[in-house]
Chain A
């Protein structure tokens, strides 16, 4: 579709320019070739273009005499264009004749004049000189032969040439107006090539898959046959470009589609089954067809590796041409510190399978498994690359150590013989520690006591490691019991307090507590010099003390009732009398505040405290 779109753009450009040129004159008639110097057997294109307002008024169009140039193919195209000039529309018909010409003889030749008779007038083109050389010349800009009335409009030459130079080009107008072309077997095909087809076992065979088409084509899935008996490596051909080629006089576009490098694993004659490629072919946007194209079978002859001269350490995967080198990251090592030995294998051949020499186990070195890295570019037909093998070696003894040389034997198919390459031995000085340089204690070994696997246990109680303590049955009671006891205590205390508050003794205690509180309040009043409030609190405190003693409220009792009650309760007469005097004193202090002094309040406070203590202490308490 991209090609069709490109052609459409070019075609529209042609139509536009011709319409402009036609606007300059009524009739445009021109002839052109895509090049003036051509090689023998090389085809080129001659194009004759007529632009007229009314194509029906063409009376005669005479094609030129091509002389020694053979007409290979010829086709005509017609199109309509219009242009706007000064507000008026100008419709024009364009007719073109495209001829593919092929020289038959070397030397100079000429394409004669073409003539057009239109509306009673005759137009002619100029002759075009063609130089035919033996070999194909370098491409040069073509020469146009402008006809009478043709405008010398500065078009890009390649742009103008493109649609007409392509003998298989079908413009969008072709597709809409003309009949779609049928797709035949010759429109597209695939081919596979072997290079070379006779190899020795393990040598690379390159299979190249080419796709050819002379119509629009899109490549779908590609299926390769089973490649049993080969080690296969895909090659990167993404950079391959589409090119053109004439086959049996037809121009084809072709492309290197895929490429594989095969390394035969065994000798014998091997037939590679056809490779199939699915292609979507389209001769027009409305005539697409999917076809599966297949290559012919390929035969590969694989020769066995020669027995003569085969080294003892040769491995059959080592076919190609390789070099081998070895290097260490340091030649001044420290005991128990790792040294990295890098073995590098470079060359052409199956770098993925080539077997590098293995570094031997050494007494005074600990060797770890190597890390292997393969770098092989995918571009190019030939498989080549670098295989790097990194060994980590740890010196177990100090002194001078020599890492031995390593050998690699391979079969070189170019020279058809076995070859062996080897590295140089490497000397490494190992110091006992970072502080003591290597060589200071030559020959002395150090016994390394590293951590090792811990042995089994021979003594065990086989008990005492049951389930965790929190899984035992005692755990939950142990959790619940302490807070439960504490809560019970709190509860018991609260109940006891409640019960006591309802008893005569409880009430007496509460009354006495009230009396003490009032005494504290009276102290504050005395300090502030508030005599009425002081004596009022003192009197209330003393009455509370009497209530605590008698078990009944003393508020509203007569003096005589208090005297009798207290005496009956076993309180001494002196205390009772002193209490009654203090009560009178309080009344006096309350109602005659001017007579009260600070000292008098302090004296009253002391007396009251003593009375409270006496009442609380003296004799037995009254029963309810």
Chain B
């Protein structure tokens, strides 16, 4: 049994660590408390405050500029992307509004305000993808589920279960009392099961985050072409705000798939990646 636990934990470890090829976070995200960072923080807070004032005054262009400046400084915060999405919507740029609501939700799936505003904007979009036997949603159900899980919370849960499991396993090695030895074994069995479930969900979340990419059409109209060339036949015309799955890149084009399975090529600058 001990060997079984050992093999299971090794597999769990291997599965989780194989997906962990993400780049290191930018220094700004680590939140060091150096004087230079404090100055940057103060400056960004001032930009945020001014952008909010511009939004309230109806100067959406100025608000957009301010929010984008914060994002360009590396502060990809859901509050900023949410405000930027609102500003784009007020400015009539529905495609970019959808893009930044989606970015907000990818950061914080529990953001109800962003979800609500996104649903309002989606009602005003032109494109409705007709089903062709497949799913009508842009994401398959399993993917929508794992994306709804908060990545940081899920990581904490997994790591907690994982560390406790190994702590108990190590402790057992030093226990002389046979009843306690057996008790620790039965404590470890559910811990291992929960750690495996949490690890699987985390691995799926990481896969969805790192390997499956979505884009949103950000220009009023974009022809979906048969091939990655301007002379290729246009299959249909897409309109701003439509969410598509990005499959690959080919020169200045990206190959995308609609939720009903139709595939084609979009100019890279016509689709913003979430």
Interface residues of B in 6-57 (CB under 8 A from A): 6, 9-10, 13, 16-17, 19-20, 22-26, 28-31, 41, 44-45, 48, 52, 55
Q: Is A360 an interface residue (CB 8 A)?
A: no
Q: Are A457 and B83 in contact (CB under 8 A)?
A: yes
A454-B113, A460-B79 are known contacts. Are A478 and B25 too (CB-CB below 8 A)? no
Return chain B residues, CB-CB under 8 Å to A499: none
A483-B166, A486-B169 are known contacts. Are A456 and B17 too (CB-CB below 8 A)? no
Contact mask for chain A residues 364-376; partner B; CB cutoff 8 A; 1 contact, 0 none: 0000000000000
CB nearest to A456 among chain B residues: B83
Q: Are B29 and A467 in contact (CB under 8 A)?
A: yes
Pick from A453, A461, A464, A489: contact of B120, CB under 8 Å: A453
Return chain A residues, CB-CB under 8 Å to B259: none
Interface-lining segment among B138-146, B152-160, B238-246, B250-258 = B152-160
- Complex-state Cα separation, A618 to B26, whole angstroms: 69
Interface residues of B in 118-176 (CB under 8 A from A): 120, 151-152, 155-156, 159, 162-163, 165-167, 169-170, 173
CB nearest to B90 among chain A residues: A453
Q: Are A456 and B25 in contact (CB under 8 A)?
A: no
Q: How far is the CB of B174 from chain A (nearest CB, A)?
A: 9
| Interface size, chain A (Cβ < 8 Å) | 34
Interface-lining segment among A234-242, A275-283, A468-476, A526-534 = A468-476
Return chain B residues, CB-CB under 8 Å to A461: 77, 79
CB nearest to B45 among chain A residues: A462
- Complex-state Cα separation, A470 to B19, whole angstroms: 9
Interface centre among B16, B151, B152 (most CB of A within 10 A): B152
Q: Are B22 and A467 in contact (CB under 8 A)?
A: yes
A456-B52, A486-B170 are known contacts. Are A462 and B44 too (CB-CB below 8 A)? yes
CB nearest to A478 among chain B residues: B159
Q: How far is the CB of A378 from chain B (nearest CB, A)?
A: 28
Q: Are B173 and A493 in contact (CB under 8 A)?
A: yes
Interface centre among A456, A476, A487, A490 (most CB of B within 10 A): A456
B interface majority secondary structure: helix
Q: Are B162 and A460 in contact (CB under 8 A)?
A: no
Q: How far is the CB of A218 from chain B (nearest CB, A)?
A: 34
Q: Is B76 an interface residue (CB 8 A)?
A: yes
- Complex-state Cα separation, A469 to B24, whole angstroms: 10
Q: Is A599 an interface residue (CB 8 A)?
A: no
Contact mask for chain B residues 43-85; partner A; CB cutoff 8 A; 1 contact, 0 none: 0110010001001000000000000001000011111101100
Return chain B residues, CB-CB under 8 Å to A464: 31, 77
Q: Is B266 an interface residue (CB 8 A)?
A: no
- Complex-state Cα separation, A456 to B56, whole angstroms: 9
Q: Is A402 an interface residue (CB 8 A)?
A: no
Q: Assign chain B's interface to a size class.
A: 35 or more
Q: Is A179 an interface residue (CB 8 A)?
A: no
Return chain A residues, CB-CB under 8 Å to B79: 457, 460-462
CB nearest to B74 among chain A residues: A466
Pick from A453, A472, A480: contact of B17, CB under 8 Å: A480
CB nearest to B121 among chain A residues: A453
- Complex-state Cα separation, A566 to B108, whole angstroms: 78
Q: Is B226 an interface residue (CB 8 A)?
A: no
Interface residues of B in 196-219 (CB under 8 A from A): 202, 206, 209
Q: Is B117 an interface residue (CB 8 A)?
A: yes
Q: Are A454 and B117 in contact (CB under 8 A)?
A: yes
Q: Are A479 and B17 in contact (CB under 8 A)?
A: yes
Q: How far is the CB of A490 from chain B (nearest CB, A)?
A: 8
Q: Is A458 an interface residue (CB 8 A)?
A: yes
Q: How far is the CB of A50 from chain B (nearest CB, A)?
A: 69
- Complex-state Cα separation, A453 to B82, whole angstroms: 12
- Complex-state Cα separation, A465 to B20, whole angstroms: 19
Pick from B13, B70, B117, B165: contact of A480, CB under 8 Å: B13
Pick from A456, A458, A463, A476: contact of B20, CB under 8 Å: A476
Q: Is A152 an interface residue (CB 8 A)?
A: no
- Complex-state Cα separation, A128 to B102, whole angstroms: 96
- Complex-state Cα separation, A357 to B69, whole angstroms: 50
Q: Are B77 and A462 in contact (CB under 8 A)?
A: yes
Pick from B6, B41, B48, B80: contact of A486, CB under 8 Å: B6
Q: Are B76 and A465 in contact (CB under 8 A)?
A: yes
- Complex-state Cα separation, A462 to B40, whole angstroms: 11
Q: Are A465 and B107 in contact (CB under 8 A)?
A: yes
- Complex-state Cα separation, A482 to B151, whole angstroms: 22
Q: How far is the CB of A459 from chain B (nearest CB, A)?
A: 8
Return chain B residues, CB-CB under 8 Å to A463: 29, 31, 41, 75, 77
Return chain B residues, CB-CB under 8 Å to A483: 6, 9-10, 13, 166
- Complex-state Cα separation, A455 to B89, whole angstroms: 12
- Complex-state Cα separation, A451 to B115, whole angstroms: 12
Return chain B residues, CB-CB under 8 Å to A574: none
CB nearest to B84 among chain A residues: A456
A454-B116, A475-B155 are known contacts. Are A465 and B77 too (CB-CB below 8 A)? yes
- Complex-state Cα separation, A470 to B107, whole angstroms: 14
A465-B77, A467-B22 are known contacts. Are A485 and B170 too (CB-CB below 8 A)? yes
Q: How far is the CB of A5 from chain B (nearest CB, A)?
A: 43
Return chain B residues, CB-CB under 8 Å to A485: 166, 170
Pick from A453, A465, A468: contact of B155, CB under 8 Å: A468
Return chain A residues, CB-CB under 8 Å to B206: 470
Q: Is B270 an interface residue (CB 8 A)?
A: no
- Complex-state Cα separation, A482 to B165, whole angstroms: 9
Q: How far is the CB of B11 from chain A (nearest CB, A)?
A: 11
- Complex-state Cα separation, A387 to B152, whole angstroms: 58
Q: How far is the CB of A300 from chain B (nearest CB, A)?
A: 38
Return chain B residues, CB-CB under 8 Å to A490: 6, 173
Return chain A residues, CB-CB under 8 Å to B156: 469
Q: Are A470 and B151 in contact (CB under 8 A)?
A: yes
Q: How far is the CB of B203 from chain A (nearest CB, A)?
A: 10
- Complex-state Cα separation, A473 to B202, whole angstroms: 17
List 3 A-B pairs, minimum CB-CB distance, nearest first: A466-B29, A482-B166, A471-B22
Additional A-B contact list (18), CB under 8 Å, known A456-B55, A482-B162, A483-B10 = A451-B116, A455-B86, A456-B87, A457-B79, A460-B48, A461-B79, A462-B41, A462-B77, A462-B79, A465-B78, A466-B25, A466-B28, A467-B22, A467-B26, A467-B29, A472-B24, A480-B13, A493-B173
Q: What is A's interface to B at a CB cutoff of 8 Å?
A: 451, 453-458, 460-473, 475-476, 478-480, 482-483, 485-487, 489-490, 493
What are 24 A-B residue pairs whose CB atoms fall within 8 Å in the complex?
Answer: A454-B117, A456-B52, A457-B83, A458-B52, A460-B48, A460-B79, A460-B80, A462-B45, A462-B79, A465-B78, A467-B25, A468-B152, A468-B209, A470-B22, A470-B151, A471-B20, A471-B24, A475-B20, A476-B20, A479-B17, A479-B20, A482-B166, A486-B6, A489-B173
